[in-house]
Structure 1
Amino acid sequence: MTWWEDLAAAEPEFAERVRARFAVRKHGTMATLRKDGSPRISGTELEFGEDGLFIGSMPGALKALDLRRDPRLALHCPTEDAPEGDETSWDGDAKIAGRAHEVPGPDGSHRFRIEITEVVLTRVGEPGDHLVIESWHPGRGLRRRTRT
């Protein structure tokens, strides 16, 4: 299993840039799988700590029940638009995929520690005619590619 702190130790600069994308606002977006296998999108708050990456939810929340049934999830950072006419100054877009492991939460709430299976950071390159996509996977490490 690979946790956030493993990524932060292996690629600290990349991990910090990803974490900064999630910190631009309080709420990110999470995708889970419903009982019938269809996707569910929910708002969620992420907590990056020295002991891992966590999400929480209210007792009995559907997203928590989804994760108990099927722990696979995808997280997307809050989105910010690039300044008009200056796309290359956009700090990018971050995504994390993984599996949720339930741990004790306060006051009966749900709390999950996230096992990392993929982390992706996308931004506009310079000049602004291409995307720069950086991705990290356990066992493979950090890769960078461009796309026009």
Structure 2
Amino acid sequence: MAGWEEFAARAPRIAEIFTRRHAATGNLCMLATLRSDGFPRISPMEPRFFEGRLWLVGMPGTTKFRDLARDPRFCLHTATVDTQVTDGDAKLWGLARDVQDPALHQRFADDLFADTGLDLRDTAFDHFYDTELTGASAVEYAGGHLDITVWTPGQAERVIRKH
């Protein structure tokens, strides 16, 4: 498993595509979690980079956070509307870990307010999930072929070209 900075160092192409697509959609991604009956749940999510980590933080009491509390496995997919994937597309999967650290939460809220104007500085966070990545992939279409870049911990990125 790898935190964001370690992942980005080991899988720079996928990290670049993820961050570019994340920014292009106003930080919107789709989060996949597992419901209590075992079926997948897909939820919109605005993950944030903070202090070198990728965080899953949001509205309290949501089912996606109850899912992660019960089963920490997730998949995070950049929001895509282009069926030709001309700007790329990326998926990350791993485990979420709830970090209950009021000082960290305050720094995050201060940063969020400075960046977006959303004021959560006096808010207690029910769930504050850090991500540990266990795999990732990205696709790009270029020059008549599709490049699929894949990463798993302990290995370098590898590209599979489909014509």
Q: Say whether the 8 Å CA contact 1:3–1:114 is kept in structure 2.
A: yes
Q: TM-score, length-normalised on structure 1? A: 0.86
1:118 is aligned to 2:135: yes
Higher strand share: 1
* Larger RCO, structures 1/2 (Cα 8 Å, 6+ apart): 2
Q: Return 5+ residue gaps in structure 1 as ranges.
A: none
- Rounded Cα–Cα distance in structure 2 between residues aligned with 1:50 and 1:142: 24
Q: 2:92 aligns with which of 67, 86, 96?
A: 96
1:1-148 superposed matches below 5 A: 1-26=1-26, 27-81=28-82, 90-104=86-100, 105=105, 106-126=123-143, 128=144, 130-148=145-163
RMSD of aligned residue pairs (Cα, Å): 1.8
Q: Mark the runs of 5 or more structure 2 residues left unpaired by the alignment.
A: 106-122
The aligned length equals: 141
* C-alpha contact 2:14 2:90 (8 A) present in aligned 1: no
Report if aligned partners of 1:32, 1:41 keep a CA contact under 8 Å in 2: yes
TM-score of the superposition, structure 2-length normalised?
A: 0.78
Q: Percent identity?
A: 40
Helix, strand or coil at the partner of 1:36: coil
Q: How far apart, in 1, do the equivalents of 2:162 and 2:21 lie?
A: 21
Matched AA of 1:35: S
Cα separation, partners in 2 of 1:137 and 1:37, compared to 1, 3 Å: same
**1:131 aligned partner, one-letter code:** L
Of residues 100-109 and 22-31 in structure 1, the stretch that sits farther from structure 2 once superposed is 100-109
